[in-house]
Chains A and B, each alone.
Chain A
Amino acid sequence: MFTGEVELQFQDREQQTHAAELGMWVFMASEVLFFSGLFALFTAYRLEYADAFRLAASQTDLGLGTANTFILLTSSLFVALSTHGVKSGWKPSSIVRLLSGTIGLGVIFLALKLLEYAHHFNEGFYPGPYYTNTELPGRGARMFFDLYYAMTGLHAIHVVIGLLLMIWMIVLARRRVLTPEYHTPLALCGIYWHFVDIVWVFLWPMFYLMRA
């Protein structure tokens, strides 16, 4: 498994690679639709509770959210360079360093996210019926934080999956499975990581920048 051998149903490696990449892009399209339901919910409630959403957005930590944006964008650079490095025949140790950097940044992202959640919990911004904040008691603020936890939580789960994939890629790089001729697993995992980055690129303005 994942050794670069051409499977029986494919004529050659190029056809196998194209099939794998097409499958990944179809999966990415399904992920777009998966997230779009929540984005649509946000759109509807943002239009209905415009003022309450702007006030609630003022309660999120703009500094931490912005730091996380720069962190994820930089992690995407590391992944892109690692894929490019494998294709160009860079040393496995360089690839491992880049992927380790990605994992480090991903862990920092999650740590900052947890820190944010802790701050919100201290202020009573709990999800659902557990919401106890008295400064913003309205329905709009409750909906904002319900969506905030649902969307950033779902995104965080994707980051965790991406981190596990990157650990797997380090194992493959160390075993010298990834070569200029065979780099499909890393290319596909890279596409997944970049998609996670794209989702955050939209979550950031929605929950942090569109504030009162």
Chain B
Amino acid sequence: MARSEATTSRFVIVWGSLMVLALASFLLSFLHLGMGGAFIALSIGLIKAVLIATFFMELIDQPSISRWAFAVGIGLALLLLVMIGTDVLTRQVTGITQPGLIGMPRP
């Protein structure tokens, strides 16, 4: 029974941390920090995602094969994001949208 209460408080503490982090993101958005602000907002989002996955989804208590199954998906998604970001940032020809493709009248 004592273990049950400890776990309940753990969930509440994690929820409280998530709320504080969300509030921090909200308040920081008013500072208009440009790209730095975007980096901070996404970093805080990443911390919140790790907290949710670790404690609410109980990834911490899962067998390693389940953790690896999820980690492979995350890893491939990150690879996709990094490769596409690198591609766009290093292109010699500016523009990734075919001219005239958007806003054309429907046939």
Interface residues of A (CB under 8 A from B): 18, 21-22, 25-26, 28-33, 35-37, 39-40, 43-45, 47-48, 62, 66, 69-70, 73-74, 76-77, 79-81, 83-84, 88, 129, 131, 139, 142-143, 187, 190-191, 194-195, 197-198, 201-202, 204-206, 208-212
Contacts and interface: CB of A to CB of B under 8 A. Distances in A.
A80 B52 CA distance: 10
A81 B95 contact: no
Interface in B33-83: 37-38, 41-42, 44-45, 48-49, 52-53, 55-58, 62-63, 65-67, 69-70, 72-74, 76-77, 80-81
19 contacts: A28-B70, A28-B73, A29-B69, A32-B74, A43-B81, A45-B97, A47-B88, A73-B15, A74-B15, A76-B56, A77-B11, A88-B7, A194-B56, A197-B52, A198-B53, A201-B49, A205-B38, A205-B45, A209-B28
Contacts, number: 153
A122 B3 CA distance: 53
Contacts of A142: 102-103
Given A33-B77, A43-B84, A143 B12 contact: no
B55 to A, nearest CB: 8
Given A22-B69, A62-B29, A202-B45, A40 B52 contact: no
A52 B63 CA distance: 45
Nearest to B12: A77
A25 B52 contact: no
Contact of A40 (B55, B66, B80): B80
Contacts of A204: 25, 45
Contact of A195 (B57, B69, B85, B96): B57
Nearest to B48: A201
